[in-house]
A and B are shown apart, each in its own frame.
Chain A
Amino acid sequence: MIRKKVDTVHEALEGIQSGMTLMLGGFGLCGIPENLIRALAESSHKDFCCISANAGVDDFGLGLLFGAQKVKKMIGSYVGENEEFERQMLAKEIEVILTPMGTLAEKCRAAQMGIPAFFTPAGYGTEVAEGKEIRKFNGKNYLLEMAYASDFSLVKAWKGDESGNLIFRGTARNFNPLMCGASTITVAEVEELVPTGSLDPNQIHTPGIFVDRIFQGSRYEKRIERRTVQNT
């Protein structure tokens, strides 16, 4: 099997440059690559185009990149909950492209799977459809949507092995598996990195072929955005 393990987050990010397009896994603060985001926010690189479902919160998640003025363009689906992001958006310091969430997911998967374009019903009759090809199948209207093109995918898994095989946990899976292999380089950080052969081949969510570099993350905060409990 092919080894993908690297020792540090800096090795994991080798080759990243200002102006690149990045896919970042996670949904809000759930399943985000905390170590990679931290390192990017502290790096000298900037002007990224970020593809991610959400924008994080002011002081965590993708918010760290906005706080550090690293993002030139944001492609996302729901970008509330972040004041600095809103300020930059209103001041037109960043360009924002909003996409139906299912379309965003499928555009990542299409990039991963070598599908250049597909039809989806989401957004027909809305401003999302502007400039897009519309076609009717079985009496229903669909938009043609293209696969994303991206330089780095930065994802977070629960467990991984040294060959890049990944297992996610709960709803922290979300966009992470779809972004693996959807960029030129895919970097995965994991809470637990195990030797190759430790994971059941039947239970791997993302085969290592979709991952170029893997490392064990540290200092996971795993912050909860809306702690909600039962009334007792």
Chain B
Amino acid sequence: MTVRHDIDHEPEEMADEHLRMIEALLFAASEPLAVEEIAARLPAGLPVDAYLARLEEDYRSRGVNLVRTGERYMFRTAPDLAFLLRREVEEPRKLSRAAVETLAIIAYHQPVTRAEIEEIRGVGLSKGTLDVLMAAGWVRICGRKRTPGRPLTYGTTDDFLAHFGLPSLDDLPGIDELKATGMLDGIDDLFAEAGAGMNADGETSVSTEDEDDATGS
């Protein structure tokens, strides 16, 4: 409750007024707002983070929630009310399996090169797939990898987080488990030293079973 405490340093009516201001800014904004953007429009020196935490709490049970995506905040309708709001207009074109997989690989492995994506999927990547993801505003070029040929690397955008309602990349579904099983280690390690890595992970049972199968059948 350090949060409350921070705000409580201010006289109550001042705190209320500052909450109103932040509320207004977030409501009026057409894009998620960064803490600094909010702070820039408020009197200097306010504990904006504390206010945001307070608003997040105030709105938690309402029809509209304050959510964090990346380092940005926005109001959006509560997920459980989707049934009420889902638009009749046809859904945006469904992404192909290739595009979904590619997006997942980029999200979990970023920064990642095209070759690495192809390595994981075991198939070449058609030109359109990355285009579609970039056009959707979810994927961006990160930079270049420091390997021969200096290939481009890809990563996700803030819009990606906003669209999928993720506070941060650490909140990607199942990321902890994937990390724990070594799935998100360097792609080179993953494949080239697969055998050694496996043993280190304590999943030796696998290899014995394979051996069993190999000898058994």
Q: Do A and B bind each other?
A: no
